Amino acid sequence: MFERSLPRHLRGLLTVDEAKSDSSSVTGKVKCTCGCEKIRLRTFGLDDAGEDDWKYGIKVTAECTGCSSTHLLFDQAVHGYDGYVCHSFETKENIVYSPVICEKCGSEVFSAEICTETEDKAQFIEEVVNEYPDEFCEEDYVDAFGWITMNVKCDKCGFEKEIINLELS
């Protein structure tokens, strides 16, 4: 039911938890297209960044432990309201990502849950689609989500941590 409310880049990568989702937010567990839920996360912009790295925003990829496929879960330069509509961040080639490591046991294998919150579709149409009809359409509101959270759970010891909690508008 809530699959259509997911940002398009996450469709097929999240198993929606309908009990945690509603008309304005969708929560789901990251699941590779091969069916595996165990991933290695790599991030940019969450640790001690270089002097100019702030202008590229936060990026998170997931490498499947089952098939080794890599999936882009979030890129602040292109996802969410700030990236998709406002283009508030620059895209950077050849990014050096840092692994997410469990602070309790040192493992790099996790399961992850992502929640995105979208603004009211009518408001998006009024403020964005009507203003920029050549760039956006009504269906784009799901990609202009205004908030994202990402929680991870260590596969080895069960330690849980929120790694992203960002307002994007």
For 68-109, what is each residue's pLDDT tens digit?
A: 999 999 999 999 999 999 998 888 778 889 999 999 999 999
Rounded distance, CA 121 to CA 83, Å? 18
Number of residues written out for the chain: 169
Beta-carbon count within 10 A of 139 CB? 11
Main-chain phi, psi angles of 152, to 5 degrees: -120, 150
Contact 75, 83 (CB under 8 A): yes
pLDDT exceeds 70 at position 137:
yes
- 48-63 confidence digits (pLDDT tens): 666 566 778 899 999 9
Q: What is the mean pLDDT of the chain?
A: 92
In sequence order, the 6+-apart residues with CB closer than 8 A to the CB of 106 are: none
Question: Smallest Cα–Cα separation from 121: which of 24, 1, 26, 27?
Answer: 24
pLDDT band at 47 (very low <50, low <70, confident <90, very high): confident
